[in-house]
Structure 1
Amino acid sequence: MPTAEPGGGRHRLTVPVRSRRFWILQATILAIMTLHTLVLASLDGRDLVGIPAPLTSSLMLIPVLYAAMSFGAAGALATAGWATALFALHWLVVHRDPVTSAHLWIELVSMVVLGASGAVVGRQVDAERDARTRTERALRQVAVAEARFHDLFEHQPSPVVVTDADGVVVEANGAALRVLGHAVVGRPLVAVVGQTPHDLLERDVPLPIAGPDGTVRQYMPSTHSLTDRDGRTVTQVLLADVSPEHRRREVQRAFTGRVLEVQEQERLHLSRELHDDPLQQLTYLTRSLDELGSDPLLPSVLVQPVQDGLDVARNASAALRQLIQGLRPPILDDLGLVPALRQLADTVQKRAKISVHVRTVGAVTRAPSDVELAVYRIAQEALTNAAKHSGARSVALDVEFGARLTVSIRDDGRGFSPDRDGTGGLGLIGANERAERIGAQLAVESQLGAGTTIRVSAPLGR
């Protein structure tokens, strides 16, 4: 039979010499020609009444078309050529009477039509066979690809589920069945993990999932939408187990929080020690020098030295109060966040000569002490950066009380390019750690030449 080229799918014109049916067909044509010759010999040159002379050549169209349908163009052309050769042998060698030109033209036209018909039908058959071969090859490739995909899907170590457009799980691999249970197929994904596929697409934190044994592990979801063979849009959800990384992060966060807590305790202890002893002594010294300087019995030569000592004592007291304020402002613990921020704004204005406007929105509410302290430190870091590095002339500090406590610090300075994690330096990295410790969200927005905005949103209750 005709063979197909390995890569192109087009048939070469190869005669099917190994086909038994092909040789039976050629033998049939030989038998027809032999019978045709015997009939003409028995008529001894007389015409058979009512039967046209070229009837035999017309009958050859049947085996040629059969060869075209069975063997393609190669088989049809070979069969037509064999029939033409037998007819030529018959008229040139076997036939005894001279051939008229009209009869010869009829026979020649019949042979041409015979070959052309076989070639046309054969090529059509070859084209259909090529198309069928390509289709079968494509179906085999699709079957192999589906088998590979199914094998990869089943042996994927991470849980993978496929949901339809309504968020219902239509397929799950072995890992997903072990984690989510064998009844997960047919259930909405939100009923299984508490999240829809769209929610998982926007989620950037691990998702806690309790296994059949009650063990809770952390999974980072990733989703991908695709179209199945029926044209339906489905969503593949892969759950990567990040429990070890999550535990390490929690340990690191706890360690960082403990370090910050120890630092704040040490600052509080140091500020109280400075306030209770050195500051009190300086205050007493200041009052004593003031009383001494106003004593009329003081010799005139000692008035100026006493006044100088009084100035030094006052400056030392002011510097010590400022140090205590930076360590842990007592007003924060006594009166709350808003008065502490107003005091901080006044201090920054005096030091850096920039304008700081404090505005409150909503009913002022006291938050837990750790929340107020963390938010205060973040605002302190932001104002320090604005005063030292931004070149700002004014800063807006807004405190909003609502469902959450939101504090934003916006300056009109030169700005900077935040890093990939949204921070611009070690100070803001520390601020981010403080925000994470109290469950707050810290956002840093800045552009070169467009100022900087730092916003922290913290819960009012823990």
Structure 2
Amino acid sequence: MIVSRVELAIMPANPRPRRLGEMDIESLHRRIAELEQELLSRKHEAEAVREPLSSMLSVLDSMGHGVIITDRHGRPTRINPAGARILGIDATQADGADDWFSGAYLPDGCSPYPAGQRPVARALQGESVNSEEILFLHPATWEAIWVQVSASPLVDLDGIGRGAIVVFRDVTPQKRALAALRETQQRFQSILEHTPSIIYLKDSSGRYLFVNRAFEDNLGRRNEEVIGLTDNEIFDPPTAEQLRHNDRRVLRSGQSYQFEETVPVNGAQKIFLSVKFPLPDVRQPPYALCGISTDINERKQSEERLRAEQTFLKQLIRAHEHDRQLMAYEIHDGVVQYISAGLMHLESLAAEKSLSPKEQAALELAIDLARRSVAEGRRVMSGLRPPILDEEGIVLAISYLAAEQSSPGELEVEFRHDVSFDRLDSLLEGTLFRIAQEALTNVRRHSQARRAEVLLVERGARIHLQICDSGIGFDPARVPDDRFGLKGILKRAELFGGVARITSQPGEGTTVSVEVPNTQVATTSSPAAIRR
């Protein structure tokens, strides 16, 4: 620094003039040092401000939420990476956010957001905006994006507004999930309200928390009237005790159960099939249960009618079998015995030597006809009901049937069995015999098989009868409707609570499988009783 030398001449009071010295250089240097110190202090202050500002900007850049800083005119001057990613713009071009704010809509999704009410505008006016949802339309794709926005004024140390800071996050996935949840709830509510089944919730003490419209329609009480009540306050004591007993079982076990519950509805007792299951708490026992009760009154009535019809049909079959049994014994004790006696007399005459050749030929013809008559009588008896079935039971009867159906050189029928029972109910024995008889008759008539097998097995509480052959087979779907043999097998098994399956393919043989409950109560009648 160049310091000019200034000289001042001042006239002294005495006559001898006095000359002043140069300006104090040391004082000037001192002033310069003070200025340099002041500049250095300001520099340190600036650095002290710049360092936290840089840290603050680093924090903003690392935030997961979007952040926009605007000037006092509302123009974006900075946007952090998260905000740029949400808006799909370049982080170095913060002014691109203007296009987004101009396309803002109110939460109704239809009304444009008034410019003066936008969060940025309100923050510039000194207002703080907290978690306000705004719908934006992407400027390029017009995709709807929901953003939750908070905004605050940005002021300096003197309290003068310098802009606004806007923090926002993309809540589009949550909004979509909420909309999907709301739609699901609406569907669920619609199902609850329109299903014919009664649906209800009860807490652990048995108080109703919710009932659907079907409950209201059947019981004649509105949801608001039922909430907080127990079964004791709605139903008669026996009904309430029945319902509460079932509820306690579900809550104690923590498992779902199915019950048939009888409940009075409009003065009449109705049967409901109720499925009840607990609503568990993660850390505690079930806090409530849900019940779904379906009116099965008509079904139960239909089942009763069906059982009555089945009982009646069984009685008819039993009476029919009894008549066939009686006819078989009548033939055996009457026609066959008389013919057999006559045959014995004819055979005794054949030993006479005095007969002429013509008489001998006539006698032999009579003997042959008598023998054929006896054989035919026995065949008719077997078709009606073989006496061995009533006298010895199903095992020996099927064994007899297999031997009867076998023909050397034509068809060989093998019978195997593994059972522990001695006798079954006579009607069930007759049913199993008829099924085996019908199946073997079909084998002889249609299968062209050289070998067949009959298997009778007892497995627990079920009896399995199987007849299979190695014949030409057939397509079960193409059996004419006027063929009742196979249908009879199916219906006979169904009548006794069993099931029959007929499997066959052309060239693969045929298998008839029957499974019926094991009824070991023998109710057979003795031959003497039948004859009487």
What's the TM-score bracket when you normalise by the shorter of the two chains?
Answer: 0.5 to 0.7
Equivalent residue, structure 2, for 1:382: 439
Equivalent residue, structure 2, for 1:289: 346
Greater relative CO, 1 or 2 (CA 8 Å, sep 6+): 1
Q: Give the length in aligned residue pairs.
A: 351
Q: Which has the higher helix share?
A: 1
Distance 1:348 1:145 in 2: 65
Equivalent residue, structure 1, for 2:262: 211
Distance 1:172 1:351 in 2: 74
Which among 498, 513, 516 is matched to residue 454 of structure 1? Answer: 513
1:46-57 correspondence runs (5 A): none
Q: Cα offset for 1:330? A: 0.7
Equivalent residue, structure 1, for 2:193: 151
Which among 313, 318, 326 is matched to residue 383 of structure 2? Answer: 326
Change (3 A) 1:64 1:157: same
Q: Cα offset for 1:323? A: 0.5
Which among 493, 512, 520 is matched to residue 435 of structure 1? Answer: 493
Change (3 A) 1:424 1:247: farther
Q: Cα offset for 1:457? A: 3.6
- What residue identity is the alignment partner of 1:147? Q
Distance 1:336 1:274 in 2: 20
Equivalent residue, structure 1, for 2:415: 358
Q: Do structure 1's residue 346 and structure 2's residue 403 form an aligned pair? A: yes
Q: Is the 1:381–1:427 Cα contact (8 Å) retained in structure 2?
A: yes
Q: Cα offset for 1:186? A: 4.5
Change (3 A) 1:383 1:428: same
1:127-146 correspondence runs (5 A): 137=179, 140-146=182-188
Q: Cα offset for 1:426? A: 3.0
Q: Cα offset for 1:364? A: 5.4
Which among 11, 15, 35 is matched to residue 114 of structure 2? Answer: 15
Deviations 1:159-211 (A, max 9, x none): 55899xxxxxx99864798889542674345999xxx869x7xxxxxx8x352
Change (3 A) 1:334 1:187: same
Change (3 A) 1:357 1:70: closer
1:17-416 correspondence runs (5 A): 62-63=124-125, 121=166, 124=168, 137=179, 140-152=182-194, 156-159=195-198, 174=215, 181-183=242-244, 186-188=247-249, 209=260, 211=262, 217=271, 239=294, 241=296, 242-350=299-407, 353-363=410-420, 365-401=422-458, 403-404=460-461, 405-416=463-474
Change (3 A) 1:3 1:239: same
Residue 279 of structure 1 aligns to a residue whose secondary structure is helix
Change (3 A) 1:68 1:335: closer
Q: Is the 1:368–1:460 Cα contact (8 Å) retained in structure 2?
A: yes
Change (3 A) 1:248 1:395: same
Q: Is the 1:336–1:366 Cα contact (8 Å) retained in structure 2?
A: yes
Q: Is the 2:452–2:468 Cα contact (8 Å) retained in structure 1?
A: yes
Q: Is the 1:416–1:424 Cα contact (8 Å) retained in structure 2?
A: no
Change (3 A) 1:306 1:217: farther
Question: TM-score when scaled to structure 1?
Answer: 0.59
Distance 2:135 2:126 in 1: 10
Distance 2:322 2:188 in 1: 63
Question: TM-score when scaled to structure 2?
Answer: 0.52
Distance 2:407 2:293 in 1: 56
Distance 2:475 2:201 in 1: 40
Deviations 1:384-417 (A, max 9, x none): 2222233333222223346444433232334455
- What residue identity is the alignment partner of 2:325? L
- What residue identity is the alignment partner of 1:430? G
- What residue identity is the alignment partner of 2:114? V
Q: Cα offset for 1:344? A: 0.4
Change (3 A) 1:452 1:132: closer
Q: Is the 2:447–2:471 Cα contact (8 Å) retained in structure 1?
A: yes
Residue 261 of structure 1 aligns to a residue whose secondary structure is helix
Change (3 A) 1:3 1:378: same
Residue 211 of structure 1 aligns to a residue whose secondary structure is strand
Q: Cα offset for 1:264? A: 0.9
Q: Is the 1:445–1:454 Cα contact (8 Å) retained in structure 2?
A: yes
* Gaps in structure 2 of 5+ consecutive residues: 1-102, 137-161, 203-208, 220-230, 522-532
Larger C-alpha radius of gyration, 1 or 2?
Answer: 2
Equivalent residue, structure 2, for 1:104: none
Equivalent residue, structure 2, for 1:45: none
Change (3 A) 1:398 1:237: farther
Q: Cα offset for 1:246? A: 1.1
Q: Cα offset for 1:348? A: 0.8
Change (3 A) 1:158 1:393: farther
Deviations 1:221-255 (A, max 9, x none): 999x9x9999x9x9986645111321232233123
Residue 248 of structure 1 aligns to a residue whose secondary structure is helix
Please say which of residues 320-329 and 393-402 is displaced more in the overlay. Answer: 393-402
Change (3 A) 1:253 1:363: closer
Q: Is the 2:107–2:135 Cα contact (8 Å) retained in structure 1?
A: no
Deviations 1:264-286 (A, max 9, x none): 12211221222222222222332
Identity %: 21
Change (3 A) 1:332 1:171: farther
* Gaps in structure 1 of 5+ consecutive residues: 26-60, 75-112, 164-169, 201-206
Q: Is the 1:359–1:398 Cα contact (8 Å) retained in structure 2?
A: yes
- What residue identity is the alignment partner of 2:197? S
Alignment root-mean-square deviation, CA:
5.1
Change (3 A) 1:285 1:260: same
Residue 248 of structure 2 aligns to a residue whose secondary structure is coil
Q: Cα offset for 1:13? A: 5.6
Change (3 A) 1:414 1:272: same
